[in-house]
Amino acid sequence: MPLTRLVPEAFSVLTICLVALLILLGLLCIAYSFYFQSHVRKQGFIQLGYFSGPWIIRIIFICFAIWWAVGEIFRLSLFRRHRRLLSGLDLRWQENVCKWYIVSNLGFAEPCLFLTLMFLLRAPLKMESGAMSGKWNMNTAGYIILYCLPMLALQLAVVLSESRLNGCSGSYVKLPHDFTRTYSRVTIDHDQVALCTYPLLSTILLGVFAALLTAYLFWLGRQILTLVINKRLQKRVYTLIFSVSSFLPLRITMLCLSVLTRADSILFEALSFLAFLSLFCFCVVSICLLVYFPVSDSMALRGLRDMDEDDVTEERSGALLLAPQNEDSLSITGRRDLRSSSQERYVELSLFLEAGN
């Protein structure tokens, strides 16, 4: 088998394996979340009910990650080769699959992933507005879809207006073909196929969207880090900020560089795989920090119902409290007397990033 064929197929197989691992991780976390929710509702762990507030948004985040991962499979050149899954489709349908991929992943799944992450991190700082209620979950899901619509509309416009943006008859403007090209026709095994490419204009739009949310994350992370009093939580917040600020720019950079290469070249496959790998790492880190660890640490607190609050030490409870936001709040040493300070308000981040010491 020639190297020019072996390397793309190796990248494709590795991508499928990583997608399967991400789906497996997501399904396990969803099952774990339902298991935790059943403990809260059926066994009367009232204290743990506080931590189960955003469970629907956590599951939605995983669903968006799985949606994105499955979409990545349809762009692979492996399935367009002779006698493969998409090779039976005519050239027109293969081109439409590439257009659907751009709209689905770059226009919907990825923006929704970023937005869901921001809402999960923002909610603990807005506890007074009712972030614990089921109504908050429904409202947040609606806001995520609503805020994603402009990006979806822009990506759809790029795909549908391809012929009017690259200098064809009746075109509005004349842009280089790389700005709007969603596919490239090449010959593989004596058959003409359409390989998916990344329009530079779509990548720029996604990059601007990601840059705005990354800037907001830095501001949000600064607010969180000035309030947290648990070192392990600080490490998790730093890890999440590093994940977003490194993996997202890396993906955008790889997608932009891919327009400089041929769609059937090894370099294009390598750049596409690196772009996929960067967002894959972002999804894994986010799922672990925002879904698995909070549920796992909260399950470790399930015995608190039978304990007296005065006997629960900070080390055992793993409570990740944010520092008081006013001077009249209790000191750290006074947190154990919760009943005598019912009027004092603490904003607790353990809802999303719980850590047991």
In single-letter form, the type of residue at position 112 comes to: C
Instruction: Kindly state the average pLDDT of the residues 185-192.
Output: 77
CB 71 within 8 A of CB 37: no
Residue 91: is its pLDDT beyond 70?
Answer: yes
Short-list 187, 210, 222, CA closest to 82: 187
Two tokens, residue 120:
């999960």
| Measured distance CA(70)–CA(82) in Å, rounded | 22
| Residue 32 clears pLDDT 90, i.e. is over it | no
Determine the Cα–Cα distance for residues 309 and 205; give it in Å rounded to an integer: 51
User: Which pLDDT score, from 0 to 100, does residue 301 have?
Assistant: 61
d(CA 265, CA 113): 30
What's the pLDDT at 88?
A: 61
Task: Show the 3-state SS of the chain.
Answer: CCHHHHHHHHHHHHHHHHHHHHHHHHHHHHHHHHHHHHHHHHCCCHHHHCCCCCHHHHHHHHHHHHHHHHHHHHCCHHHHCCCCCCCCCCHHHHHHHHHHHHHHHHHHHHHHHHHHHHHHHHHHHHHHHCCCCHHHHHHHHHHHHHHHHHHHHHHHHHHHCHHHHECCCCCCCECCHHHCCCEEEEEECCEEEEEECCCHHHHHHHHHHHHHHHHHHHHHHHHHHCCECCHHHHHHHHHHHHHHHHHHHHHHHHHHHHCCCCCCCHHHHHHHHHHHHHHHHHHHHHHHHHHHHHHHHHHCCHHHHHCCHHHCCHHHHCCCEECCCCCCCCCHHHCCCCHHHCCCCCCECHHHHCCCC
Whether residue 175 contacts residue 166, with contact meaning beta carbons closer than 8 Å, is answered with yes
Residue 338 has pLDDT above 60, yes or no: no
Integer CA distances (angstroms), 172 to 76, 161, 199, 204, 205, in order: 32, 9, 17, 19, 19
What is the structure's pLDDT at 169?
Answer: 53
* pLDDT 10s digits, 310-333: 444 333 333 333 443 443 433 333
| Cβ contacts of 255 within 8 Å, gap of 6 or more | 198, 203, 206, 271, 275
Encode pLDDT of 37-57 as tens digits. Answer: 777 676 655 555 555 667 888
Q: Which residues, 6 or more positions from 147, have their beta carbon under 8 angstroms from its beta carbon?
A: 111, 115
Q: How many CB atoms are closer than 10 A to CB 160?
A: 12
Q: How far is CA 246 from CA 122, 138, 205, 210, 336, in A?
A: 20, 31, 18, 11, 39
What is the C-alpha separation between 171 and 247, in angstroms, rounded? 36
> What's the pLDDT score for residue 59?
92
pLDDT value, residue 165: 64
Higher pLDDT, 103 or 323: 103
Most confident of 27-31, 41-45, 119-123, 343-347: 27-31
Q: How far apart, in whole angstroms, are the C-alpha atoms of residue 324 and residue 227? A: 7
For the stretch 129-162, pLDDT in tens is 444 566 788 888 999 999 999 999 999 999 988 7
Instruction: Decide: residue 229, CB within 10 A, 0-12 exposed, 13-18 middle, 19+ buried.
Output: middle
**Average pLDDT of span 212-226:** 87
Mean pLDDT of the chain: 77
Give the pLDDT score at 201.
Answer: 92
Tell me what pLDDT residue 171 has: 55
Q: How far apart are alpha carbons 217 and 87 in whole angstroms? A: 42
Q: Which two tokens stand for residue 268?
A: 């294009």
